[in-house]
Amino acid sequence: DTAVSQTPKYLVTQMGNDKSIKCEQNLGHDTMYWYKQDSKKFLKIMFSYNNKELIINETVPNRFSPKSPDKAHLNLHINSLELGDSAVYFCASSQDPGEETQYFGPGTRLLVL
Amino acid sequence: AQSVSQHNHHVILSEAASLELGCNYSYGGTVNLFWYVQYPGQHLQLLLKYFSGDPLVKGIKGFEAEFIKSKFSFNLRKPSVQWSDTAEYFCAVTALTGANNLFFGTGTRLTVIP
């Protein structure tokens, strides 16, 4: 009965590969987010989706593309992985964008070699 | 653009000591304020939040925070810390206009020594 789940928990891959991280929420929320937490623990929002529409797109490389097949899922696809992509990626969800509490997933630790 | 500052990067306390972690934000409009905690190896969890009303808010595990609008601050406090409070603490702010992004501070690592 996990509220926000992510797979995989750990991902180790080589530069240049393409990988996806999946996120699912069973809270019935309308908005989902992806955050990147760097090695210094700094959290920065990457994307958010509200009712299958992208409403925030921060200055992230276009190698990163969020994909939302339905309201309960927001997957993150990354093309041509680079060393600097190594980080922990957190998915989150909230009922409304910004004004409500966000609930976070357990994170996916990505290591690019 | 909004920003959130947490001036304490690493705080080390003995058990039973009192805790205060600073958080300042820069935004002139109405905001919602949050404190999240990240225990070692775990995901972010909400400690407490302020949307409106009483500026002194109480959260889980004995934590509280006070919103002082004139100082743009939302400091986190706990009168007596425990070893299990060892974690990373993040202050976050979202404005009620515009894109409604949630902006995080850089975090404060708290180490409680038994």
pLDDT tens-digit readout, A26-64: 999 988 999 999 888 788 888 888 876 787 676 788 899
Give me the residues of chain B with pLDDT under 50, please.
Answer: none
- Residues making up chain A, counted from first to last: 113
Domain count, chain B: 1
Q: Which candidate from A55, A56, A101 shows the least CB-CB separation from B49?
A: A101
Looking at residue B27, its pLDDT comes to: 81
Q: For A89, name the nearest residue in chain B, comparing CA atoms only.
A: B43
Q: What is the CATH number of the domain that holds B21?
A: 2.60.40.10
Which sign, positive or negative, has the C-alpha torsion A29, A38, B94, B79? Answer: positive
Which residue segment(s) compose the domain that B36 sits in? 3-113
Tokens coding B26: 């820069």
Q: Do B102 and A99 touch (CB under 8 A)?
A: no
Q: Do B100 and A102 touch (CB under 8 A)?
A: no
Helix count and strand count (H, E) for chain B: 0, 12
